[in-house]
Amino acid sequence: MFRIITLFTLVFSLFTFKVNAQEKKQKINYEKEGYVKAIVIHYEVENCGYLIELANKAKTKIAPDKLADEFKKDKEKIWVKYTLAKKQPMSTCMGGKLAEVVDVKKRK
């Protein structure tokens, strides 16, 4: 009887582990979560530093208020969630509109 209970417990544990692993592998739909496809650009003109070019038809560029060092690579593909600054302050960078970056994820 003890062996049957032990075997049942082992099989149940393995099944639960497999289901949890499959749930973790499910891909997140970043577009549904409010993210936009983009590329980080090292923009050396006008003292801009790094800009984010959105993957829309107009190739809109935004100047992020903050960008983690791990994303400061030219041509880095990312997902970005942002809001444009309500009042565009004066800046030496005329390459893009100032935006508050809410979140950034690496894109493959």
pTM: 0.70
Tell me which architecture the domain covering 36-106 has in CATH. Beta Barrel (2.40)
Each residue's pLDDT tens digit, 46-91: 778 899 999 988 889 999 988 999 999 999 999 999 998 887 777 7
Long-range contacts of 90-94 (CB under 8 A, 24+ apart): 91/63, 92/46, 92/47, 92/48, 93/43, 93/46, 93/47, 93/48, 93/49, 93/51, 93/63, 94/46
Each residue's pLDDT tens digit, 20-36: 554 555 578 898 999 99
| CB-based contact 80:38 (threshold 8 Å) | yes
- Could you state, in order of their start, the residue ranges of all structural domains in the chain? 36-106
